[in-house]
Amino acid sequence: MGRMGNNGGRCAVYSGAMTRSIACIAFALLGAACASYSGRGLQPGVSSEDEVRRTMGAPAMELGNPDGSKQLAYPRGPLGTETFMVRVGRDGLVQGVDQVLRDEVFYRIVPGITKDDVLRLIGPPSEMMEFPRLQQTAWEYRYQDAWGYTAFLSVMIDPQGIVAGRTTRRLDRDNSRSR
């Protein structure tokens, strides 16, 4: 058994309390950072683009629109199942924040639209896979389906940048359900 010195063990108690305090502070900061990932607290018509960047960080992609407005894409991946799209008006104010990896948005991805249309709808893919024989590239998006299962959306893009099709598939049905 090691010797504790003349402090009667107080240093060890202080050290344990300090470690717990640091752990609590770190946990609180982590929780605050995660809460801001969704843009919670940003108010349409009030919050500015600068507030978005302070709250959510640098976007993975910024898409300018012809009317001077823009979209900022915030994928939470590569293993995340959400992408938040922030719409900023030409006045620099937030118009809305939406989680776009959901079935209602996927239904708008149909053969014939462009890859730029896909980027505007759901942001950048988490993964890309080439299929040389098909002459297509699959853009992969991990998401949670309407039943709570982790799934993948694959958008097939041809060499001209046109959507050829899309599919969805669930990962392991027994183990992927959120609890």
Q: Which domains does the chain have, with CATH numbers?
A: 100-179 (3.30.1450.10)
pLDDT at position 18: 47
Rounded CA-CA distance 169/158 in Å is 20
- At 31, give phi and psi (nearest 5°): -60, -40
pLDDT per position as a tens digit, 63-122: 999 999 999 999 986 678 999 999 999 999 999 999 999 999 999 999 999 999 999 999
Binned at pLDDT 50, 70 and 90, residue 16 comes out as: low
How does residue 171 score in pLDDT terms, banded at 50, 70 and 90? confident
Is residue 88 within 8 Å of 52, Cβ to Cβ?
Answer: yes
Q: Enter the pTM of the model.
A: 0.74
Least confident residue range of 9-13, 120-124, 155-159, 170-174: 9-13
> Model confidence over 24-58: pLDDT tens digits?
444 444 444 444 577 888 999 999 999 999 999 99
pLDDT for residue 40:
83
For residues 118 and 163, is the Cβ–Cβ distance under 8 A?
yes
Q: How far are the Cα atoms of 14, 15, 31, 55, 172 from residue 26, in angstroms, in the given order?
A: 18, 16, 9, 18, 33
Cβ contact 64:45 at 8 Å: no
Task: Give me the pLDDT at residue 57, please.
Answer: 93
